[in-house]
Chain A
Amino acid sequence: MVLVFAETWKGQFKKSTFEAVRYGASCAQMAGSHCTALVMGACDNPSELATHGAENIIHVSDAGSFEPHAFAGTMADIAQKDGAKALVIAGTSNGKALAGILAIKANAAAISQVIALPESMSPLTVERSAFSSKGLEICASKAAQTVLTLIPNAIGMTEVSPGAGNLQSAGMSGTALAVPGEQTVASGSIPLPEAERVVSAGRGLKAAENWGMVEALATVLGATTACSKPVSDIGWRPHSEHVGQTGIQINPQLYIAIGISGAIQHLAGVSGSKVIVAINIDPEAPFFKAADYGVVGDAFEVVPKLTEALKKHFA
């Protein structure tokens, strides 16, 4: 059996949850077993996971706020009871908090940064990203149980047959060791790690007040905005928008980098993007070596033109 942590946010499933459930259903199909989704906390429509391949859906409605020991303990107990061999988690912030604890509690191996379906289910062998996207590793589990943490957006929605979606309820059996408190969440845009499209700008924009055109481009694309490290260090944009090695790592379908030179520390956080567009006035900018499409030109002229062209395209 494959057990998937089906993370929710304000009662709704995250997109990365659907991706993880489909991944789990695909693994289950390979292994000739079934996929069970574990939903913890308030959830408007747990049955929604059936269309993504969940045969069983276990809902722990009294889970409360996310606390990694409590959630991992409960998930490990369910995994043990149901004989789960693979425990699948989307590598969100909460998913990553869960993975290591879960591996110990479930007596499992842990393979993180997974970017493909397993090559084999027994022994569980799977490709993962390493060296900040500069290397690929085939990793094999040597344990009877394995926790797999997926990079969100890296695998996409695998094709699965709908599952029966048998709904069961369960109680919390894990114990919390910390007290989660207040959350502050930027409203509106999709969080960077989950965003399919990201528009990012760097020092080439010259001043904080020039971000209007970046936001206009992002709005047309339905994209989330980001920035380079120097820009967050100067204070033009909040640290929460910094993408790169020491910032947030992203894996969108489309990444548009405006006035960012493409230092290796920046690329380490964005090279998981499927398609990269670099816009830079300097034809020697290293980003042009990492990009799929490049525009050599003044961002203040290019970006408004691109926004207009996109408006026409979407009209």
Chain B
Amino acid sequence: MKILVCISHVPDTTSKIAFTSDGSQLDKSGLQFVINPHDEFALSKALNLKETLGGSVTIITMGDVSVEQTMRKALAIGADDAIRLDAEPTDPIMVAKAIATAINDASYDLILCGQESIDYNGGIVPGALAALLNAPFVNACIGLEFDGSAITAIREIDGGKESVTANLPAVIAGKKGLVLESELRIPNMRGIMMARKKPLTVVSADDLEALSAAQSFKKPQAKAAVQLIDADDMESLVSKLHTDAKVI
């Protein structure tokens, strides 16, 4: 099975997010970047499928040369090769079109994505990519099986689960559950050494038009300090929730 995994390069979850003083963009100084957590599940699932079925796992990421450290980590975890789309990912439709163009004649059987990136939280790219490729699409995927001809995916619906079957090629946007957290793969020393020699192709992608643009960023208003309530006086908490907060 020929698998493509879309990887986003995002600030580590525990990062303190700050914006440049003019509010035009994320202040990247001092930030640690990682593989988007949802994409880690997609990558581990792809590697499991490859081990069972044979084939290859390619990763694709959009960004400038600084994203290559994250891509090398994905290669160290076990992906075979990588494509970097050389442009700043400012708009999800632009990203999806760039991916669709870059893989146009590569005929991947399965495209696995995290359901959203934890930076801009768009969640648009996987579905847009499925539409561009005219391929079946499953989002919020928490389980995936392949029986030799078709896939059966389990997706989260609000308050429950749904199973979906589809033929390949298909686009899957998934999350924790694609594999268990304990099954997430981490790079070992041999993987890290091998990753340096694995092919990483750079494809120009700056000719695509962004359909949306961030005008400004700011931090949400800081919460007022917590009001501590005496543990023996839950009546007072109930009264505050009713009278001040108006939530009950």
- Quick one: which of B161, B175, B229, B235 contacts A184, CB cutoff 8 A? B161
Given A110-B122, A177-B166, answer yes or no on A101-B130 (Cβ-Cβ < 8 Å).
yes
In the complex, whether B65 has a CB less than 8 A from a CB of chain A is no
Residues of chain B contacted by A203 (CB below 8 angstroms): none
Is B214 engaged at the interface, CB distance under 8 Å to the other chain? yes
Asked if B45 is an interface residue, CB under 8 A from chain A, the answer is no
Tell whether A190 is near chain B: CB-to-CB under 8 Å: yes
* Pair B128/A295 contact, Cβ less than 8 Å: no
Chain B residue nearest to A289 (CB atoms) is: B226
The distance from the CB of A290 to the nearest CB of chain B, in whole angstroms, is 7
Q: Per DSSP, are chain B's interface residues mostly helix, strand or loop, or mixed?
A: mixed
Contact of A292 among B140, B216, B223 (CB under 8 A): B223
CA distance A132 to B13 in the complex (A): 9
User: Of residues 178 to 196 in A, which have CB atoms within 8 Å of B's CB atoms?
Assistant: 178-186, 189-194
CB of A308 within 8 Å of the partner chain:
yes
Q: Give chain A nearest CB distance to B242 CB in angstroms.
A: 7
Residues of A with C-beta under 8 A to B162: 180-184
B165 CB within 8 Å of chain A: yes
Of the candidates B125, B128, B248, the one having the most CB atoms from chain A within 10 angstroms of its own CB is B248
Interface size class of B (residues with CB under 8 A): 35 or more
CB distance B122 to A112 under 8 Å?
yes
A140 touches B220 (CB 8 A): no
* Number of cross-chain contacts by CB at 8 Å: 286
State the CA gap A293–B226 with chains docked (Å): 5
Residues of B within 8 A of A113 (CB): 121-123
CB of A164 closer than 8 Å to a CB of B? no
Total contacting residues, chain A, CB less than 8 A: 96
Segment among A27-35, A43-51, A240-248 that sits at the interface with chain B: A240-248
Bound CA span A103–B211, Å: 10
**CB-CB < 8 A to B181: which residues of A?**
233, 246
Beyond A100-B126, A177-B135, whether A142 also contacts B214 by CB under 8 A is no
The residue on A at minimum CB distance from B140 is A93
With a CB–CB cut-off of 8 A, which chain A residues contact B213?
A: 139-140, 142
B240 sits at the interface (CB 8 A): yes
- B9 part of interface (Cβ distance < 8 Å): no
Inter-chain contact A137/B241, CB cutoff 8 Å: no
Selecting from B68-76, B88-96, B190-198, the interface stretch reads B88-96
The answer to whether A129 and B229 have CB atoms under 8 Å apart is: no
Of the listed stretches A55-63, A79-87, A205-213, A298-306, chain B binds: A298-306
B149 to chain A, nearest CB (A): 13
Contact of B211 among A105, A129, A142 (CB under 8 A): A142
Complex formed: what's the CA distance from A69 to B131 in Å? 8
Chain-B contact segment, one of A18-26, A155-163, A165-173, A273-281: A273-281
A129 nearest in chain B by CB position: B121
Is the beta-carbon distance between A191 and B159 smaller than 8 angstroms?
Answer: yes
A106 to chain B, nearest CB (A): 10
| Distance (whole angstroms) from the CB of A147 to the closest CB of chain B | 8
How far, in whole Å, are A280 and B54 apart by their CA atoms in the complex? 49
Whole-angstrom CA separation of A250 from B210 in the bound complex: 30
B128:A254 contact, CB within 8 angstroms: no
Q: Does B208 contact A (CB under 8 A)?
A: no
- Chain B neighbourhood of A294, CB < 8 A: 226-229
Q: Which of A215-236 contact B (CB under 8 A)?
A: 221, 233
Which residues of chain A are near B239, meaning CB under 8 Å?
313
Complex CA distance for A239 and B161, rounded to whole angstroms = 11
Question: Min CB distance, A42 to chain B, in Å?
Answer: 16
20 sampled A-B residue pairs with Cβ under 8 A: A100-B131, A103-B128, A104-B96, A110-B122, A112-B124, A113-B121, A130-B121, A131-B11, A137-B214, A143-B211, A177-B137, A179-B164, A182-B163, A254-B241, A254-B247, A289-B226, A297-B231, A305-B231, A313-B239, A313-B248
Give 4 nearest A-B pairs by CB, closest first: A100-B127, A297-B231, A191-B159, A185-B160
List A residues at the B interface (Cβ < 8 Å). 9, 14, 68-69, 72, 92-94, 96-105, 108-113, 125, 129-143, 146, 149, 177-186, 189-194, 197, 221, 233, 239-240, 245-248, 253-254, 264-265, 268, 274-275, 277-278, 288-298, 301-302, 305-306, 308-310, 312-313
